[in-house]
């Protein structure tokens, strides 16, 4: 398995966004502009960082998951985020890396639990 945190985050970002897009489509939203507008509530770095913080505060993650999140947040990157501060960006990267890791480990049930928590289901 690839342990490069940024690669895991890259993969996790696409998987997480797919979950969110499916959720919004299942809600009956059929206009692309509205889908995009609604998705920002879940997929922006700020939203992801806020959800991650809440989940950590509620002891949602196990020790291994927290380790992945921490490693991803601490990973050095030359990327400069456009729409948020670096701490928010790194927290969002932590959530994305965890989802990427879980996907590669075929722990889709755990991804489901994370996304369902975020969606309030």
Catalytic residue among 13, 50, 62, 85: 13
Residue 43: count of CB within 10 angstroms of its CB: 18
Look up 13 and say whether it is catalytic.
yes
CA dist., res. 20 & res. 11, Å (int): 15
| Three-class SS state of 81 | coil
Distance CA 118, CA 76 (A): 27
Burial class for 25, CB neighbours closer than 10 Å (0-12, 13-18, 19+): exposed
Which residues are catalytic, by number?
A: 13
């Amino acid at each position: 398995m690839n342990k490069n945190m940024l690669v895991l985050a890259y993969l996790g970002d696409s998987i997480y966004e797919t979950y969110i897009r499916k959720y919004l489509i299942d809600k009956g939203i059929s206009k692309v502009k509205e889908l995009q507008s609604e998705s920002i509530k879940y997929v922006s770095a700020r939203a992801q960082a806020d959800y991650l913080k809440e989940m950590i505060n509620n002891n949602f993650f196990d020790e291994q998951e927290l380790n992945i999140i921490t490693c991803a947040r601490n990973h050095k990157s030359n990327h400069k985020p456009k729409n948020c501060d670096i701490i928010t960006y790194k927290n969002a990267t932590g959530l994305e890396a965890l989802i990427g890791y879980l996907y590669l480990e075929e722990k889709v049930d755990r991804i489901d639990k994370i996304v369902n928590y975020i969606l309030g289901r």
